[in-house]
Amino acid sequence: MPRKKTETPISSEPVNISELDIVSTLETNYMPYAMSVIISRAIPEMDGFKPAHRKLLYTMYKMGLLTGGRIKSADVVGQTMRLNPHGDQAIYETLVRLTRGNDALLHPFIDSKGNFGKQYSRDMAYAASRYTEVKLDAICAELFKDIDKDTVDMVDNYNGTMKEPLLFPSTFPNLLVTPNQGIAVGMASSICGFNLKEVCAAAVHYIADRDCDISKYLLAPDFSTGAQLIYNAAGLAEIYATGRGSFKLRAKYQADSKNNCVEITEIPYTTSIEAIIEKIVSLVKANKIRDVNDVRDETDLKGLRITLDIKRGANTDLLMHKLFSMTTLCDTFNCNFNFLVDGRPKTMGVKEILDEWLRFRTSCVRRQTAYDIEKKTAQAHLLEGLSKILVDIDKAIKIIRKTEQDRMVIPNLMSGFNIDQAQAEFIAEIKLRNLNKEHILNRVNELESLNKEISELKEILGSDKKIEGIISRQLKEIAKKYGKPRRTEIISEEQVIEIPDDALIEDYAIKVIMTKHNYFKKIAMSSLRMAFEQNLKDDDRITQEFETVNKADLLFFSDKYNVYKVKAYELADCKASSMGEFLPNMLGMEENERIISMAATTDYTGFMLFGFANGRVAKVNMDAYATKINRKKLVNAYSDKSPVVYAGFVEQDCDFLAIRGTDKALLFNTSLLTPNAAKNGMGAEVITLRKNTYMTYLIPAEQYKCENAEFYRYKAIPGLGHFIPLPERAVNGLTKPNG
């Protein structure tokens, strides 16, 4: 039977919906997430590791992989999931970066076998975890040194089934040795790696003298990919002092003049082979680099290599300097030494980092010493009990034999020799064969050396100086055992040849063309040898064309009194068969704005000439449009007081004809004009106008067709001009006024 439909009456009362407080909502829901990312994921701590690294390495340590052979990476990943609840792929990616095969670290923590990709290659994929094998590298012994002696705090894992360390008791400042980058919420860290020998030397000298000059021992960052570091003393001093700053890394190359090629063998740590090759290819296609015929990735088992085939006779050093300025073959590493200190993010300079690490390491040594004292004291206490039965071994045996109940053995020994329960249990557990005078005497003789060790340990525990001595000694041993030569070469800024920007631009002859419909072409003169006819739209025509060079500045004057400036080399070359670029799109012009004139200059000599309908002509020096910064647009490029009838570049003073309407002309030389003080000035009156008449044309004298141009000459301006014969008007197309 169908259920009877019931209707809910709609109340006429307004529903009162309480508004959510967005601030409290964000604090409740977002802040815990942000803090989790900062503390538990992205920012490294005093041992130089993020939690994901630490969980992986500790799992491998507990699996016994510090000794013995390698095992499958898949097994390690699976075991790590007991500590790290993230997916297996995320864990494996963490493992890959720590391996020797990936080349991301100067001192890898994982000894690997198989394909782990390369840090310097974006596309060189690593093999699946079932195909690769790993174990802990020898240097990991320094990370876990005395970890089982209560040197660091141990906490429960995510489900409370096992313990894991909050930090590793690393015996060297790994936070300066291992490069690390992380993006948290509202903050990030970017830590460059340093050479282990240099870090240990700096730490030793800092322990001895807190005011020492760190830069004497910590020369500069060092990276697994090598390359060259351009040394800037002020820049590195800022990084060392504040933990923030940047420095430049540059690729290493060698030229092979015999085979006309350049081999790049080391690249900056911050880039990849693919990024470099893609950029070079794009530069070649854009005709910004003309000396490269081919670029290849020839990286193999011997190492990285990018080969450039270059044109015969090309200047290799100049080409490489072009590539350094245009590609990531020269790149910047930005430093932000942000670490977690006692659970709080803190940006620190090198000395402050060493100070915090020393405080942490001192705590580890002190805790380890206290642990040893406790264990040795307990052992000495047991041996003291053993020494008491040495005087009457037969009595101890008799007590044990005569005791009828097992539970009474310990109490009877305690009362028989005046010892405590722990001592009695120790004696009771001695094997029957060891209940002889020689064995007990030998054990008791250990008591003296044990008490001496306890005394020495107590002295260490009470002396910061002795603890620092232990730390310094360990640092020296580590530097000797694991230290490697620098990979990144340090070169001074003086060694970097300064090449002017112009030298990096290839200069060659070009022709620039502008059409009535505002299309623009830049054509290399060499390509015009093959094709002379320009391809234009059916109803379009060329209004301006001239030859210049690729290093010239192009100036485009618009009917909205603006001038747009473009470097010729920034524009792509095209062919005669191309339609060209549409200027409004190319220049980012205003709506309904048109270009009326185009000029080119390399030194901003000469001047622009503007003719106005009111009979005035303005002469504006080109240097009025020169700017110190690379501005793309200048406003008020010329006067807006009267319609412009002519705008053009004039290299040096010459003759022009000013034409009133279609009937009168005046020939004058531009030397009669005084350059404008301001580029948007109206200039001087050239031709005198009657009521309701205008200057309709301003024409360069060589473009005007007549038998005797001197007939129109005026040696002073303004002037009334002379009448133009009718046939001459027809020849020059002076039939309709245009203004």
Task: Put the strands of the sheet holding 563-567 in their side by side order.
Answer: 595-601, 553-558, 563-567, 633-634
The CA-atom distances, in angstroms, between 379 and each of 94, 247, 392 are 43, 56, 21
Distance CA 614, CA 618 (A): 12
508 catalytic residue (yes or no): no
Distance CA 251, CA 249 (A): 7
Backbone phi and psi for residue 316, each to the nearest 5 degrees, phi listed first: -60, -45
Q: Is 162 helix (H, G, I), strand (E, B) or coil?
A: coil
Classify strands 338-341 and 180-183 as parallel, antiparallel or unpaired. Answer: unpaired
Considering 126, 131, 482, 646, which one is annotated as catalytic? 131
Distance CA 260, CA 273 (A): 21
- Closest alpha carbon to 121 in 278, 2, 285, 255: 278
**How is residue 163 written in tokens?**
């313990």
Distance CA 202, CA 207 (A): 9
- Closest alpha carbon to 99 in 78, 123, 62, 127: 127
The CA-atom distances, in angstroms, between 226 and each of 267, 268, 595 are 7, 7, 52
- Between helix 437-461 and helix 464-482 the angle, nearest 10°, is 100
Distance CA 353, CA 45 (A): 11
The CA-atom distances, in angstroms, between 723 and each of 277, 638, 659, 702, 710 are 68, 30, 10, 19, 13
Query: Could you tell me if 563 and 555 are in contact, meaning their C-beta atoms sit under 8 angstroms apart?
Result: yes
**Which residue in this structure is represented by tokens 């001496």?**
452
Q: Taking the chain, what is the end-to-end CA distance rounded to the nearest angstrom?
A: 92
Query: Could you tell me if 287 and 573 are in contact, meaning their C-beta atoms sit under 8 angstroms apart?
Result: yes
Exposure letters 619-641 (e unless 16+ CB within 10 A, then b): bbebebbeeeeeeeebeebbbee
Query: Could you tell me if 181 and 111 are in contact, meaning their C-beta atoms sit under 8 angstroms apart?
Result: no
The rounded Cα 732 to chain-centroid distance in angstroms is 63
Q: For the CA atoms of the chain, what is the radius of gyration? A: 42
**How is residue 84 written in tokens?**
């790290």
- The burial class, CB within 10 Å (0-12 / 13-18 / 19+), for 86 is middle
The rounded Cα 202 to chain-centroid distance in angstroms is 26
Q: Can you name the residues that pair with 598 across neighbouring β-strands?
A: 556
Backbone phi and psi for residue 340, each to the nearest 5 degrees, phi listed first: -90, 120
- The burial class, CB within 10 Å (0-12 / 13-18 / 19+), for 671 is exposed
Residue ranges of alpha helices (H) inside 403-463 are: 409-417, 421-428, 437-461
Catalytic residues: 131
